[in-house]
Amino acid sequence: MLSPLKDRLMLKLLLVPYQRCSQHTMATLSDMKEVFRRADAVCFDVDSTVIKEEGIDELAKFCGVGDAVTEMTRKAMGGSMSFKTALIERLSIIRCSREQVNKLLTDHPPQLTPGISELVDRLHQRGIKVYLISGGFLCIVEHVATQLNIPLHHVYANRLKFYFNGEYAGFDESQPTAEGGGKGKVISMLKEQNGFENVVMIGDGATDLEACPPANAFIGFGGNVIRPQVKEKSLWYVTSFRELLKELENI
């Protein structure tokens, strides 16, 4: 049974569901940690969060156009270029074939960030749903989900399109993750469809930060790369998933 203090805290969290994402609100760090411990679902960004690298940058390097694409990724993740514009421009440079994508996954599979496997396992053990919401590519993100035992229907990412001969044919621009604000749209949909009251978003980039609200809390992650704009605006910022594992022990 909850103590009177806990009762008041939970009432406060329910009454101000969208005041937990910014350091400029009256939410406290302890409030956000309580939301995390009591989350119905936790949504992770993938590139530079769940995995060490940026998938699109790795694909660009593999296709021999790494330098041009890496700079666009930096601008997109820092928020100085719209996500969709950056995605279209980067893919127009890469123009990868289906064979190149498959070979990338075989020869250079994504490297999981230390601690993520243990964290996802712990969340699953506690009955918390785990989702991957990425502006990256579905073929790569599904590979990561399989490694983490996350159901593939819990994956939201951009779908590359190929012609019958395997050549690049564009990407599915109808996916919510193809646009700025897309991660928030996915979270809104998940809350509506599943009745989630507390959803936490974890990520390194500007597109992750802007997903809160509708997420009830945002945890900035700097274990692979620190983006100053995101760190500055994050009430809760961690550099290791073990910090979150430790928090789950404080029940």
Active site residue 172: no
Spatial distance between the Cα atoms of 160 and 60, rounded to a whole number of angstroms: 14
Which uninterrupted H or E stretch holds 96? none
Residues 6+ apart with CB under 8 A from 200: 35, 36, 39, 41, 42, 43, 215, 216, 217, 218, 219
CA 86, 200, 29: angle at the middle one, nearest 5?
110
Spatial distance between the Cα atoms of 167 and 154, rounded to a whole number of angstroms: 28
Q: Tell me the three state secondary structure of residue 222.
A: coil
Which uninterrupted H or E stretch holds 87? helix 83-94
For residue 160, the tally of other CB atoms under 10 A from its CB is 21
First-to-last CA distance in the chain?
13
Q: Which of 31, 47, 57, 208 is catalytic?
A: 47
Q: Which of 7, 31, 40, 45 is catalytic?
A: 45
Residues 6+ apart with CB under 8 A from 154: 129, 130, 131, 132, 145
Active site residue 47: yes
Spatial distance between the Cα atoms of 92 and 217, rounded to a whole number of angstroms: 35
Q: Tell me the three state secondary structure of residue 215.
A: coil
Q: Which residues are part of the catalytic machinery? A: 45, 47
